[in-house]
Structure 1
Amino acid sequence: MSREPRRPAELVGRVFYSREAIQRGLLTKNDLRTSAWRRLFHNVYADARLEISHHTRCRAAASWLFPPGCAIAGRSAVALHGGATCGPDDDVEVVVEPSARFGPLAGLLIHVAPWRDGEVSRIDGIPVTTVERTCWDVARWLDVVDAVALIDSLGHIGAVGRTELDRYLVTRRGERGSRRFAEAISLTDPGAESLPESRLRVRLVRAGLPRPVTQHVITRAGRFVARVDLAWPELKVAIEYDGLWHHDPAQFHRDRQRLNRILGDDWIVLHVTSKRMREDFDGFLAEVRAALTHRTRPRP
Protein backbone atom coordinates (compact mmCIF):
# COMPACT_ATOMS: atom_id res chain seq x y z
CA MET A 1 0.00 0.00 0.00
CA SER A 2 1.51 3.32 -1.07
CA ARG A 3 2.32 5.90 1.57
CA GLU A 4 0.61 9.29 1.52
CA PRO A 5 3.07 11.98 0.37
CA ARG A 6 4.38 14.30 3.05
CA ARG A 7 2.69 17.70 3.13
CA PRO A 8 4.28 19.91 5.79
CA ALA A 9 1.83 22.57 6.91
CA GLU A 10 4.40 25.29 6.23
CA LEU A 11 4.35 24.46 2.50
CA VAL A 12 0.65 23.76 1.92
CA GLY A 13 -0.81 26.13 -0.66
CA ARG A 14 2.56 27.79 -1.24
CA VAL A 15 5.34 28.23 -3.77
CA PHE A 16 8.74 27.58 -2.22
CA TYR A 17 12.45 27.22 -2.84
CA SER A 18 13.27 23.52 -2.61
CA ARG A 19 16.80 23.94 -1.26
CA GLU A 20 15.49 25.94 1.66
CA ALA A 21 12.76 23.37 2.36
CA ILE A 22 15.34 20.57 2.35
CA GLN A 23 17.76 22.51 4.57
CA ARG A 24 14.96 23.09 7.08
CA GLY A 25 14.16 19.37 7.09
CA LEU A 26 10.65 19.90 5.77
CA LEU A 27 11.15 17.72 2.70
CA THR A 28 13.66 15.40 1.10
CA LYS A 29 14.63 15.17 -2.56
CA ASN A 30 12.51 12.02 -2.79
CA ASP A 31 9.52 13.87 -1.31
CA LEU A 32 9.76 16.43 -4.13
CA ARG A 33 9.31 13.63 -6.68
CA THR A 34 5.89 12.71 -5.31
CA SER A 35 2.54 13.88 -6.62
CA ALA A 36 2.21 16.33 -3.72
CA TRP A 37 4.52 18.88 -5.35
CA ARG A 38 4.80 20.53 -8.75
CA ARG A 39 8.07 21.80 -10.20
CA LEU A 40 7.80 25.32 -11.63
CA PHE A 41 11.48 26.06 -12.27
CA HIS A 42 14.81 24.63 -11.21
CA ASN A 43 14.67 24.49 -7.39
CA VAL A 44 11.26 26.22 -7.32
CA TYR A 45 8.24 24.09 -6.46
CA ALA A 46 4.59 24.56 -5.55
CA ASP A 47 1.89 22.64 -3.74
CA ALA A 48 0.38 20.51 -6.54
CA ARG A 49 -3.12 21.44 -5.37
CA LEU A 50 -2.39 25.13 -5.85
CA GLU A 51 -3.90 26.66 -9.00
CA ILE A 52 -0.95 27.96 -11.01
CA SER A 53 -1.45 31.00 -13.25
CA HIS A 54 1.09 32.82 -15.37
CA HIS A 55 1.08 35.52 -12.70
CA THR A 56 2.06 32.85 -10.17
CA ARG A 57 4.98 31.77 -12.35
CA CYS A 58 6.11 35.38 -12.82
CA ARG A 59 6.06 35.96 -9.07
CA ALA A 60 7.90 32.69 -8.43
CA ALA A 61 10.63 33.55 -10.95
CA ALA A 62 11.06 37.06 -9.58
CA SER A 63 11.03 35.91 -5.94
CA TRP A 64 13.37 32.95 -6.14
CA LEU A 65 15.47 33.25 -9.30
CA PHE A 66 16.09 36.86 -10.31
CA PRO A 67 19.40 38.51 -9.47
CA PRO A 68 19.46 42.34 -9.60
CA GLY A 69 19.04 43.65 -13.13
CA CYS A 70 16.12 41.41 -14.20
CA ALA A 71 12.51 42.28 -14.96
CA ILE A 72 9.42 40.60 -16.38
CA ALA A 73 9.06 41.71 -20.01
CA GLY A 74 7.43 40.98 -23.36
CA ARG A 75 4.27 38.85 -23.40
CA SER A 76 4.50 38.25 -19.67
CA ALA A 77 4.63 41.98 -18.99
CA VAL A 78 1.60 42.49 -21.25
CA ALA A 79 -0.30 39.99 -19.12
CA LEU A 80 0.75 41.59 -15.82
CA HIS A 81 -0.32 45.00 -17.11
CA GLY A 82 -3.80 43.56 -17.75
CA GLY A 83 -3.53 42.90 -21.49
CA ALA A 84 -3.65 39.59 -23.32
CA THR A 85 -3.08 36.72 -20.92
CA CYS A 86 -0.49 33.95 -21.09
CA GLY A 87 -1.15 30.31 -20.32
CA PRO A 88 -0.08 28.83 -16.97
CA ASP A 89 2.59 26.72 -18.66
CA ASP A 90 3.93 29.42 -20.99
CA ASP A 91 7.53 30.50 -20.50
CA VAL A 92 8.01 33.62 -18.40
CA GLU A 93 9.59 36.32 -20.55
CA VAL A 94 12.43 38.25 -18.93
CA VAL A 95 14.74 41.13 -19.87
CA VAL A 96 18.18 41.07 -18.29
CA GLU A 97 20.69 43.88 -18.24
CA PRO A 98 24.02 42.87 -19.87
CA SER A 99 25.84 43.21 -16.55
CA ALA A 100 23.53 40.72 -14.82
CA ARG A 101 24.74 37.22 -15.64
CA PHE A 102 21.60 35.12 -15.66
CA GLY A 103 20.33 32.09 -17.56
CA PRO A 104 19.64 30.14 -19.61
CA LEU A 105 16.99 28.46 -17.45
CA ALA A 106 14.14 26.14 -18.41
CA GLY A 107 10.79 27.91 -18.20
CA LEU A 108 12.24 31.37 -18.85
CA LEU A 109 12.60 33.17 -22.17
CA ILE A 110 15.49 35.54 -21.55
CA HIS A 111 16.39 38.66 -23.55
CA VAL A 112 19.60 40.54 -22.81
CA ALA A 113 19.10 44.30 -23.20
CA PRO A 114 19.66 47.44 -21.13
CA TRP A 115 16.83 49.62 -19.91
CA ARG A 116 16.64 53.27 -19.01
CA ASP A 117 15.81 54.83 -15.68
CA GLY A 118 12.08 54.66 -15.10
CA GLU A 119 11.45 51.82 -17.57
CA VAL A 120 10.94 49.20 -14.86
CA SER A 121 8.23 49.51 -12.25
CA ARG A 122 6.67 47.06 -9.79
CA ILE A 123 3.35 45.27 -9.94
CA ASP A 124 2.51 43.39 -6.72
CA GLY A 125 6.18 43.64 -5.87
CA ILE A 126 7.31 42.08 -9.17
CA PRO A 127 9.76 44.07 -11.34
CA VAL A 128 8.04 44.63 -14.69
CA THR A 129 8.87 46.79 -17.69
CA THR A 130 6.58 49.81 -18.00
CA VAL A 131 3.75 49.70 -20.53
CA GLU A 132 5.59 51.84 -23.08
CA ARG A 133 8.81 49.84 -22.73
CA THR A 134 6.77 46.62 -22.98
CA CYS A 135 5.25 47.78 -26.27
CA TRP A 136 8.72 48.71 -27.54
CA ASP A 137 10.03 45.25 -26.65
CA VAL A 138 7.21 43.24 -28.23
CA ALA A 139 7.54 45.33 -31.41
CA ARG A 140 11.25 44.45 -31.57
CA TRP A 141 10.99 40.82 -30.53
CA LEU A 142 7.87 39.64 -32.35
CA ASP A 143 6.38 39.62 -35.81
CA VAL A 144 4.52 42.90 -36.37
CA VAL A 145 1.16 41.10 -36.57
CA ASP A 146 1.56 39.52 -33.12
CA ALA A 147 3.12 42.67 -31.68
CA VAL A 148 0.20 44.86 -32.77
CA ALA A 149 -2.28 42.36 -31.33
CA LEU A 150 -0.60 42.57 -27.92
CA ILE A 151 -0.38 46.36 -28.03
CA ASP A 152 -4.06 46.47 -29.03
CA SER A 153 -4.91 44.43 -25.93
CA LEU A 154 -3.22 47.05 -23.74
CA GLY A 155 -4.87 49.91 -25.60
CA HIS A 156 -8.29 48.27 -25.28
CA ILE A 157 -8.15 48.39 -21.47
CA GLY A 158 -6.79 51.94 -21.46
CA ALA A 159 -3.34 50.95 -20.18
CA VAL A 160 -1.65 52.93 -22.96
CA GLY A 161 -2.72 55.27 -25.76
CA ARG A 162 -1.38 56.39 -29.09
CA THR A 163 -0.17 59.69 -27.60
CA GLU A 164 2.04 57.90 -25.07
CA LEU A 165 3.39 55.53 -27.70
CA ASP A 166 4.18 58.36 -30.12
CA ARG A 167 5.92 60.25 -27.34
CA TYR A 168 8.00 57.19 -26.47
CA LEU A 169 8.89 56.70 -30.14
CA VAL A 170 10.37 60.21 -30.22
CA THR A 171 12.81 59.19 -27.47
CA ARG A 172 13.86 56.14 -29.51
CA ARG A 173 14.24 57.72 -32.96
CA GLY A 174 17.25 56.37 -34.84
CA GLU A 175 17.73 53.38 -32.55
CA ARG A 176 17.67 49.83 -33.81
CA GLY A 177 14.05 48.70 -33.77
CA SER A 178 12.52 52.19 -34.01
CA ARG A 179 11.13 51.56 -37.51
CA ARG A 180 9.46 48.33 -36.40
CA PHE A 181 8.00 50.14 -33.41
CA ALA A 182 6.74 52.98 -35.60
CA GLU A 183 5.04 50.52 -37.95
CA ALA A 184 3.47 48.64 -35.05
CA ILE A 185 1.97 51.71 -33.39
CA SER A 186 0.71 53.01 -36.74
CA LEU A 187 -1.36 49.82 -37.01
CA THR A 188 -2.74 49.72 -33.48
CA ASP A 189 -6.45 50.07 -32.76
CA PRO A 190 -7.76 49.97 -29.18
CA GLY A 191 -11.20 49.00 -30.49
CA ALA A 192 -10.03 45.44 -31.17
CA GLU A 193 -11.55 43.00 -28.70
CA SER A 194 -9.41 39.91 -29.24
CA LEU A 195 -5.99 38.85 -30.47
CA PRO A 196 -7.38 37.01 -33.54
CA GLU A 197 -9.39 40.08 -34.59
CA SER A 198 -6.28 42.24 -34.30
CA ARG A 199 -4.18 39.79 -36.29
CA LEU A 200 -6.85 39.62 -38.99
CA ARG A 201 -7.08 43.41 -39.27
CA VAL A 202 -3.32 43.87 -39.48
CA ARG A 203 -2.91 41.16 -42.10
CA LEU A 204 -5.63 42.76 -44.24
CA VAL A 205 -4.07 46.23 -44.00
CA ARG A 206 -0.57 44.94 -44.69
CA ALA A 207 -1.97 43.18 -47.75
CA GLY A 208 -2.96 46.59 -49.10
CA LEU A 209 -6.64 46.82 -48.17
CA PRO A 210 -8.15 50.02 -46.74
CA ARG A 211 -8.10 50.11 -42.97
CA PRO A 212 -11.38 48.75 -41.56
CA VAL A 213 -13.32 50.12 -38.61
CA THR A 214 -13.27 47.91 -35.51
CA GLN A 215 -16.44 46.91 -33.66
CA HIS A 216 -18.67 48.94 -35.96
CA VAL A 217 -22.23 49.48 -34.72
CA ILE A 218 -24.95 49.24 -37.36
CA THR A 219 -28.17 51.12 -36.67
CA ARG A 220 -31.51 51.47 -38.39
CA ALA A 221 -33.62 54.57 -37.79
CA GLY A 222 -31.32 55.40 -34.89
CA ARG A 223 -31.79 52.03 -33.20
CA PHE A 224 -29.14 49.37 -32.63
CA VAL A 225 -29.25 46.47 -35.07
CA ALA A 226 -25.88 44.75 -34.82
CA ARG A 227 -22.19 45.18 -34.12
CA VAL A 228 -19.58 43.65 -36.42
CA ASP A 229 -15.91 42.90 -35.78
CA LEU A 230 -14.53 44.78 -38.80
CA ALA A 231 -16.28 46.94 -41.37
CA TRP A 232 -15.97 49.36 -44.24
CA PRO A 233 -19.19 51.24 -43.39
CA GLU A 234 -19.25 53.41 -46.52
CA LEU A 235 -19.23 50.24 -48.64
CA LYS A 236 -21.42 48.17 -46.31
CA VAL A 237 -18.91 45.34 -46.17
CA ALA A 238 -18.24 43.61 -42.85
CA ILE A 239 -16.14 40.75 -41.50
CA GLU A 240 -16.95 38.52 -38.57
CA TYR A 241 -14.30 36.36 -36.93
CA ASP A 242 -15.93 33.10 -35.85
CA GLY A 243 -13.76 31.97 -33.00
CA LEU A 244 -15.78 30.47 -30.14
CA TRP A 245 -19.04 29.30 -31.66
CA HIS A 246 -17.98 25.63 -31.56
CA HIS A 247 -17.69 25.94 -27.76
CA ASP A 248 -21.05 27.69 -27.43
CA PRO A 249 -23.61 26.67 -30.11
CA ALA A 250 -26.24 28.96 -28.56
CA GLN A 251 -23.94 31.97 -29.01
CA PHE A 252 -23.31 30.90 -32.60
CA HIS A 253 -27.05 30.95 -33.36
CA ARG A 254 -27.49 34.32 -31.63
CA ASP A 255 -24.67 35.77 -33.70
CA ARG A 256 -26.12 34.45 -36.93
CA GLN A 257 -29.57 35.81 -36.05
CA ARG A 258 -28.01 39.18 -35.26
CA LEU A 259 -26.19 39.31 -38.58
CA ASN A 260 -29.24 38.23 -40.56
CA ARG A 261 -30.94 41.44 -39.46
CA ILE A 262 -28.53 43.57 -41.49
CA LEU A 263 -28.79 41.67 -44.77
CA GLY A 264 -31.92 43.56 -45.71
CA ASP A 265 -29.88 46.76 -45.44
CA ASP A 266 -27.66 45.55 -48.27
CA TRP A 267 -24.67 44.57 -46.15
CA ILE A 268 -22.15 41.95 -47.28
CA VAL A 269 -20.92 39.95 -44.29
CA LEU A 270 -17.88 37.72 -44.75
CA HIS A 271 -16.96 35.10 -42.15
CA VAL A 272 -13.53 33.73 -41.30
CA THR A 273 -12.43 31.05 -38.83
CA SER A 274 -9.09 30.39 -37.20
CA LYS A 275 -8.64 27.38 -39.50
CA ARG A 276 -9.20 29.56 -42.57
CA MET A 277 -6.79 32.15 -41.20
CA ARG A 278 -4.10 29.50 -40.82
CA GLU A 279 -4.66 27.48 -43.97
CA ASP A 280 -6.29 29.70 -46.58
CA PHE A 281 -5.77 33.34 -45.74
CA ASP A 282 -4.96 34.16 -49.38
CA GLY A 283 -8.29 32.72 -50.45
CA PHE A 284 -10.15 34.75 -47.84
CA LEU A 285 -8.21 37.86 -48.81
CA ALA A 286 -9.33 37.38 -52.41
CA GLU A 287 -12.95 37.22 -51.24
CA VAL A 288 -12.61 40.45 -49.27
CA ARG A 289 -10.99 42.18 -52.24
CA ALA A 290 -13.82 41.01 -54.48
CA ALA A 291 -16.46 42.33 -52.06
CA LEU A 292 -14.76 45.72 -51.75
CA THR A 293 -14.24 45.95 -55.51
CA HIS A 294 -17.86 45.05 -56.16
CA ARG A 295 -19.05 47.80 -53.85
CA THR A 296 -16.57 50.32 -55.25
CA ARG A 297 -17.71 49.95 -58.85
CA PRO A 298 -20.22 52.53 -60.06
CA ARG A 299 -23.76 51.15 -60.04
CA PRO A 300 -25.90 51.44 -63.16
Structure 2
Amino acid sequence: MFQRRSRDLIDFAEPFIGSHAVAEDALTLCDLRSPSFTRLFRNVYVASTTEVTHSMRCRAAALLAPGGAVLSGCSAAAVRGLELVGPHDLVEFVVPEDVVFDRQAGLHIRRTSRLMIDSEPWGGIRLATPLRLALDALTNTKLHRSLPRTVGYLDAFLSSGLLTLAELRRYLGPRRDNGMVRARKAVALANARSESVPESELRVWLTVAGLRPEVQVDVVTATGDFLGRLDLAFPKRKLAVEYDGQWHLDGIQPRLDAQRRTAIEAEGWRFVIVTKADLYDEPKRVVTTIRAALS
Protein backbone atom coordinates (compact mmCIF):
# COMPACT_ATOMS: atom_id res chain seq x y z
CA MET A 1 0.00 0.00 0.00
CA PHE A 2 1.25 3.52 -0.75
CA GLN A 3 2.63 5.69 2.03
CA ARG A 4 1.36 9.26 2.28
CA ARG A 5 4.23 11.60 2.96
CA SER A 6 2.16 14.68 3.79
CA ARG A 7 -1.28 15.51 5.07
CA ASP A 8 -4.28 14.38 3.03
CA LEU A 9 -4.20 17.17 0.50
CA ILE A 10 -5.48 14.92 -2.29
CA ASP A 11 -8.69 12.92 -2.40
CA PHE A 12 -7.46 9.72 -4.04
CA ALA A 13 -11.06 8.52 -4.50
CA GLU A 14 -11.40 11.31 -7.10
CA PRO A 15 -9.24 11.66 -10.24
CA PHE A 16 -5.97 13.49 -9.61
CA ILE A 17 -2.86 14.55 -11.51
CA GLY A 18 -0.13 12.06 -10.72
CA SER A 19 2.78 14.47 -11.10
CA HIS A 20 1.09 16.90 -8.69
CA ALA A 21 0.73 14.18 -6.05
CA VAL A 22 4.40 13.31 -6.44
CA ALA A 23 5.47 16.98 -6.30
CA GLU A 24 3.48 17.47 -3.09
CA ASP A 25 5.24 14.43 -1.63
CA ALA A 26 1.90 12.66 -1.16
CA LEU A 27 2.93 9.70 -3.36
CA THR A 28 5.95 8.28 -5.10
CA LEU A 29 6.18 7.10 -8.68
CA CYS A 30 6.26 3.55 -7.34
CA ASP A 31 2.98 4.22 -5.53
CA LEU A 32 1.34 5.39 -8.76
CA ARG A 33 2.51 2.29 -10.60
CA SER A 34 1.24 -0.03 -7.89
CA PRO A 35 -2.11 -1.89 -7.95
CA SER A 36 -3.43 0.71 -5.51
CA PHE A 37 -4.11 3.13 -8.37
CA THR A 38 -5.80 3.04 -11.77
CA ARG A 39 -4.42 5.11 -14.63
CA LEU A 40 -7.30 6.86 -16.42
CA PHE A 41 -5.42 9.10 -18.83
CA ARG A 42 -1.83 10.15 -19.25
CA ASN A 43 -0.78 11.46 -15.80
CA VAL A 44 -4.31 11.13 -14.36
CA TYR A 45 -5.06 8.47 -11.74
CA VAL A 46 -7.64 7.38 -9.19
CA ALA A 47 -7.61 4.93 -6.30
CA SER A 48 -8.22 1.42 -7.59
CA THR A 49 -11.04 1.00 -5.07
CA THR A 50 -13.05 3.67 -6.92
CA GLU A 51 -15.62 2.45 -9.45
CA VAL A 52 -14.77 3.73 -12.90
CA THR A 53 -17.85 5.19 -14.59
CA HIS A 54 -18.08 7.39 -17.64
CA SER A 55 -18.96 10.45 -15.57
CA MET A 56 -15.93 9.81 -13.37
CA ARG A 57 -13.69 9.62 -16.45
CA CYS A 58 -15.21 12.92 -17.55
CA ARG A 59 -14.05 14.47 -14.28
CA ALA A 60 -10.61 13.00 -14.96
CA ALA A 61 -10.52 14.39 -18.49
CA ALA A 62 -11.49 17.83 -17.18
CA LEU A 63 -8.13 17.93 -15.36
CA LEU A 64 -6.37 17.82 -18.74
CA ALA A 65 -8.65 20.11 -20.73
CA PRO A 66 -8.06 23.84 -21.32
CA GLY A 67 -10.57 26.28 -19.87
CA GLY A 68 -12.27 26.87 -23.22
CA ALA A 69 -13.05 23.18 -23.76
CA VAL A 70 -16.70 22.13 -23.53
CA LEU A 71 -17.67 18.64 -22.39
CA SER A 72 -20.51 17.62 -24.67
CA GLY A 73 -22.49 14.80 -26.28
CA CYS A 74 -23.13 11.64 -24.26
CA SER A 75 -20.28 12.60 -21.91
CA ALA A 76 -22.12 15.77 -20.84
CA ALA A 77 -25.29 13.71 -20.51
CA ALA A 78 -23.44 11.34 -18.13
CA VAL A 79 -22.36 14.25 -15.95
CA ARG A 80 -25.99 15.40 -15.93
CA GLY A 81 -27.03 12.00 -14.57
CA LEU A 82 -27.74 10.03 -17.74
CA GLU A 83 -25.08 7.33 -18.19
CA LEU A 84 -25.69 6.03 -21.71
CA VAL A 85 -22.15 5.10 -22.68
CA GLY A 86 -19.67 2.77 -21.06
CA PRO A 87 -16.85 3.71 -18.69
CA HIS A 88 -14.21 3.32 -21.38
CA ASP A 89 -16.03 5.02 -24.26
CA LEU A 90 -14.38 8.17 -25.58
CA VAL A 91 -14.91 11.33 -23.53
CA GLU A 92 -16.40 13.90 -25.90
CA PHE A 93 -15.29 17.53 -26.13
CA VAL A 94 -16.10 20.35 -28.51
CA VAL A 95 -13.66 23.27 -28.62
CA PRO A 96 -13.25 26.48 -30.62
CA GLU A 97 -10.64 26.20 -33.36
CA ASP A 98 -8.23 28.57 -31.62
CA VAL A 99 -8.14 26.60 -28.34
CA VAL A 100 -5.09 24.37 -27.94
CA PHE A 101 -6.04 20.90 -26.71
CA ASP A 102 -3.61 18.05 -27.32
CA ARG A 103 -5.17 14.80 -28.41
CA GLN A 104 -4.60 11.63 -26.42
CA ALA A 105 -6.08 8.17 -26.12
CA GLY A 106 -9.53 8.12 -24.59
CA LEU A 107 -10.60 11.59 -25.74
CA HIS A 108 -12.64 12.67 -28.75
CA ILE A 109 -12.01 16.34 -29.55
CA ARG A 110 -14.28 18.04 -32.07
CA ARG A 111 -13.45 21.55 -33.26
CA THR A 112 -15.88 24.28 -34.29
CA SER A 113 -15.50 27.66 -35.94
CA ARG A 114 -18.18 29.09 -33.66
CA LEU A 115 -16.78 31.17 -30.81
CA MET A 116 -19.86 30.71 -28.64
CA ILE A 117 -20.73 27.16 -27.58
CA ASP A 118 -23.85 26.93 -25.43
CA SER A 119 -22.45 25.84 -22.08
CA GLU A 120 -21.96 26.66 -18.42
CA PRO A 121 -18.95 26.54 -16.05
CA TRP A 122 -18.09 23.08 -14.70
CA GLY A 123 -15.01 21.73 -12.97
CA GLY A 124 -12.64 24.36 -14.35
CA ILE A 125 -13.89 23.86 -17.91
CA ARG A 126 -17.38 24.10 -19.40
CA LEU A 127 -20.37 21.75 -19.67
CA ALA A 128 -22.66 21.78 -22.71
CA THR A 129 -26.28 22.74 -22.16
CA PRO A 130 -28.82 19.95 -22.73
CA LEU A 131 -29.66 21.30 -26.18
CA ARG A 132 -26.03 21.66 -27.19
CA LEU A 133 -25.08 18.17 -25.99
CA ALA A 134 -28.00 16.77 -27.98
CA LEU A 135 -26.82 18.66 -31.08
CA ASP A 136 -23.33 17.19 -30.74
CA ALA A 137 -24.62 13.68 -30.06
CA LEU A 138 -26.81 13.83 -33.17
CA THR A 139 -24.31 15.38 -35.59
CA ASN A 140 -21.03 13.71 -34.60
CA THR A 141 -20.54 11.23 -37.44
CA LYS A 142 -16.87 10.55 -36.57
CA LEU A 143 -17.91 8.41 -33.61
CA HIS A 144 -19.46 5.99 -36.14
CA ARG A 145 -22.71 5.51 -34.24
CA SER A 146 -25.52 3.94 -36.26
CA LEU A 147 -28.72 5.89 -36.87
CA PRO A 148 -30.68 3.49 -34.60
CA ARG A 149 -28.15 4.02 -31.78
CA THR A 150 -28.26 7.80 -32.25
CA VAL A 151 -32.05 7.76 -32.04
CA GLY A 152 -31.77 5.58 -28.93
CA TYR A 153 -29.65 8.23 -27.23
CA LEU A 154 -32.06 10.96 -28.29
CA ASP A 155 -35.02 8.97 -26.93
CA ALA A 156 -33.17 8.69 -23.62
CA PHE A 157 -32.56 12.46 -23.53
CA LEU A 158 -36.27 13.04 -24.10
CA SER A 159 -37.63 10.43 -21.69
CA SER A 160 -35.31 11.64 -18.91
CA GLY A 161 -36.70 15.17 -19.15
CA LEU A 162 -33.31 16.58 -20.12
CA LEU A 163 -35.01 18.39 -23.01
CA THR A 164 -38.19 18.29 -25.07
CA LEU A 165 -38.65 17.52 -28.74
CA ALA A 166 -40.21 20.94 -29.33
CA GLU A 167 -37.21 22.69 -27.77
CA LEU A 168 -34.80 20.61 -29.84
CA ARG A 169 -36.64 21.31 -33.09
CA ARG A 170 -36.52 25.07 -32.42
CA TYR A 171 -32.83 24.83 -31.54
CA LEU A 172 -31.90 22.83 -34.64
CA GLY A 173 -34.11 24.86 -37.00
CA PRO A 174 -31.66 27.61 -38.04
CA ARG A 175 -28.45 25.58 -37.72
CA ARG A 176 -26.31 24.46 -40.65
CA ASP A 177 -23.70 22.37 -38.82
CA ASN A 178 -22.13 19.33 -40.46
CA GLY A 179 -24.31 16.30 -39.82
CA MET A 180 -27.61 18.20 -39.67
CA VAL A 181 -29.25 15.94 -42.27
CA ARG A 182 -28.59 12.95 -40.04
CA ALA A 183 -29.71 14.90 -36.96
CA ARG A 184 -33.06 15.74 -38.53
CA LYS A 185 -33.57 12.10 -39.52
CA ALA A 186 -33.01 11.13 -35.89
CA VAL A 187 -35.45 13.77 -34.66
CA ALA A 188 -38.10 12.50 -37.08
CA LEU A 189 -37.67 8.97 -35.67
CA ALA A 190 -37.54 9.95 -31.97
CA ASN A 191 -40.08 8.77 -29.42
CA ALA A 192 -39.91 9.86 -25.78
CA ARG A 193 -41.99 6.86 -24.65
CA SER A 194 -39.20 4.42 -25.40
CA GLU A 195 -37.82 2.88 -22.20
CA SER A 196 -34.35 1.74 -23.28
CA VAL A 197 -31.76 2.37 -25.98
CA PRO A 198 -31.98 -1.20 -27.41
CA GLU A 199 -35.77 -0.89 -27.57
CA SER A 200 -35.33 2.34 -29.54
CA GLU A 201 -32.81 0.71 -31.86
CA LEU A 202 -35.20 -2.16 -32.56
CA ARG A 203 -38.02 0.29 -33.29
CA VAL A 204 -35.84 2.27 -35.71
CA TRP A 205 -34.72 -0.84 -37.60
CA LEU A 206 -38.38 -1.75 -38.08
CA THR A 207 -39.47 1.77 -38.98
CA VAL A 208 -36.84 2.39 -41.64
CA ALA A 209 -37.83 -0.98 -43.14
CA GLY A 210 -41.38 0.30 -43.57
CA LEU A 211 -42.86 -1.35 -40.47
CA ARG A 212 -44.30 1.06 -37.91
CA PRO A 213 -44.78 -0.47 -34.48
CA GLU A 214 -46.56 1.35 -31.70
CA VAL A 215 -44.60 2.00 -28.51
CA GLN A 216 -45.52 0.92 -24.95
CA VAL A 217 -48.91 -0.61 -25.77
CA ASP A 218 -51.17 -1.56 -22.85
CA VAL A 219 -53.02 -4.87 -23.12
CA VAL A 220 -56.32 -5.29 -21.25
CA THR A 221 -58.97 -7.99 -21.20
CA ALA A 222 -62.50 -7.52 -22.50
CA THR A 223 -63.53 -6.67 -18.94
CA GLY A 224 -60.80 -4.03 -18.60
CA ASP A 225 -58.27 -6.00 -16.54
CA PHE A 226 -54.70 -4.83 -17.20
CA LEU A 227 -52.43 -7.65 -18.36
CA GLY A 228 -49.23 -5.84 -19.22
CA ARG A 229 -47.43 -3.30 -21.37
CA LEU A 230 -45.67 -4.27 -24.57
CA ASP A 231 -42.37 -2.70 -25.69
CA LEU A 232 -43.47 -2.59 -29.33
CA ALA A 233 -46.65 -3.84 -30.90
CA PHE A 234 -48.79 -4.03 -34.02
CA PRO A 235 -52.23 -4.00 -32.35
CA LYS A 236 -54.28 -4.69 -35.49
CA ARG A 237 -52.32 -7.89 -36.03
CA LYS A 238 -52.02 -8.59 -32.30
CA LEU A 239 -48.28 -9.03 -32.70
CA ALA A 240 -45.99 -8.03 -29.83
CA VAL A 241 -42.26 -7.44 -30.30
CA GLU A 242 -40.13 -7.33 -27.17
CA TYR A 243 -36.44 -6.93 -26.49
CA ASP A 244 -35.09 -9.23 -23.78
CA GLY A 245 -31.83 -7.84 -22.42
CA GLN A 246 -29.58 -9.52 -19.87
CA TRP A 247 -31.75 -8.59 -16.89
CA HIS A 248 -34.60 -10.69 -18.31
CA LEU A 249 -32.44 -13.75 -17.56
CA ASP A 250 -31.84 -12.89 -13.91
CA GLY A 251 -33.60 -14.20 -10.80
CA ILE A 252 -37.35 -14.59 -11.04
CA GLN A 253 -37.64 -12.32 -14.09
CA PRO A 254 -37.90 -15.20 -16.63
CA ARG A 255 -40.84 -16.64 -14.68
CA LEU A 256 -42.55 -13.25 -14.44
CA ASP A 257 -42.06 -12.68 -18.18
CA ALA A 258 -43.51 -16.12 -18.97
CA GLN A 259 -46.58 -15.54 -16.78
CA ARG A 260 -47.27 -12.13 -18.32
CA ARG A 261 -46.85 -13.38 -21.88
CA THR A 262 -49.04 -16.42 -21.28
CA ALA A 263 -51.84 -14.18 -20.04
CA ILE A 264 -51.48 -11.88 -23.05
CA GLU A 265 -51.35 -14.80 -25.48
CA ALA A 266 -54.64 -15.99 -24.02
CA GLU A 267 -56.11 -12.79 -25.47
CA GLY A 268 -55.01 -13.78 -28.97
CA TRP A 269 -51.62 -12.05 -29.10
CA ARG A 270 -48.43 -13.52 -30.56
CA PHE A 271 -44.86 -12.64 -29.50
CA VAL A 272 -41.56 -12.17 -31.28
CA ILE A 273 -38.77 -12.03 -28.69
CA VAL A 274 -35.54 -10.30 -29.74
CA THR A 275 -32.33 -10.93 -27.80
CA LYS A 276 -29.16 -8.84 -27.63
CA ALA A 277 -27.43 -11.20 -30.07
CA ASP A 278 -30.37 -10.96 -32.49
CA LEU A 279 -30.43 -7.16 -32.43
CA TYR A 280 -26.73 -6.47 -32.71
CA ASP A 281 -25.55 -9.40 -34.81
CA GLU A 282 -28.40 -9.80 -37.31
CA PRO A 283 -30.80 -6.82 -37.22
CA LYS A 284 -31.91 -7.36 -40.82
CA ARG A 285 -32.84 -10.93 -40.02
CA VAL A 286 -34.94 -9.62 -37.10
CA VAL A 287 -36.79 -7.34 -39.53
CA THR A 288 -37.38 -10.26 -41.91
CA THR A 289 -38.76 -12.41 -39.06
CA ILE A 290 -41.17 -9.72 -37.92
CA ARG A 291 -42.28 -8.94 -41.46
CA ALA A 292 -43.06 -12.64 -41.93
CA ALA A 293 -44.98 -12.75 -38.68
CA LEU A 294 -47.08 -9.80 -39.81
CA SER A 295 -47.89 -11.34 -43.16
Q: TM-score, normalised by structure 1?
A: 0.88
Q: What is the aligned length?
A: 287
Partner of 1:215: 216
For the 8 Å contact 2:76–2:127, the answer to whether it is kept is yes
- Residue 283 (structure 1) shift: 2.6
CA displacement at 1:124 relative to structure 2: 6.9
The DSSP-based 3-state class of the residue aligned with 1:20 is: helix
Match of 2:220, SS? strand
Q: Residues of 2 paired with 1:99 and 1:162: CA distance?
A: 32
Counterpart amino acid of residue 162 in structure 1:
L
Q: Counterparts of 1:146-161 in structure 2 under 5 Å? A: 146-161=149-164
1:15 is aligned to 2:4: no
Counterpart-to-counterpart distance in 1, 2:247 and 2:179 = 38
Letter in 2 for 1:29: L
Q: Which is worse superposed, 23-32 or 257-266?
A: 23-32
For 1:3-42, list aligned pairs within 5 A: 4-8=1-5, 9-11=8-10, 12-42=12-42
Query: Residue type matched to 1:45 in 2?
Result: Y
TM-score w.r.t. the length of structure 2 is: 0.89
Matched with 2:96 is 97
**Which residue does 1:225 correspond to in 2?**
227
Kept in 2, the 8 Å contact 1:82–1:154? The answer is: no
Residues 5 and 35 of structure 1 are in contact (CA less than 8 Å); yes or no, is this contact kept in structure 2?
Answer: no
Shift of 1:176: 3.0
SS of 2:246's partner is coil
Report if aligned partners of 2:66, 2:125 keep a CA contact under 8 Å in 1. no
RMSD: 2.1
Deviations 1:100-158 (A, max 9, x none): 11121122122122456461124677622122222221221233211111011111111
Unaligned 5+ residue runs, structure 2? none
Please list, as runs of the form range in 1=range in 2, the aligned pairs for 1:269-280 lying within 5 A after superposition: 269-280=271-282
For the 8 Å contact 1:81–1:154, the answer to whether it is kept is no
Deviates more, 1:157-166 or 1:242-251: 242-251
**Residues 72-91 of structure 1 aligned to structure 2 (within 5 Å):** 72-91=71-90
2:200 alignment counterpart: 198
4+ long deviations beyond 4 Å: 122-126
Q: Report the 3-state secondary structure (helix = DSSP H, G, I; strand = E; otherwise coil) of the residue aligned with 1:262.
A: helix
Q: Does residue 169 of the first structure (1) align with residue 172 of the second (2)?
A: yes
Which 5+ residue runs of structure 1 have no aligned equivalent?
294-300
Deviation string, structure 1 residues 226-254 (Cα, Å, up to 9, x no partner): 11110122332110111125641410111
Contact 2:96 2:115 (8 Å CA) reproduced: no
Distance 2:211 2:248 in 1: 29
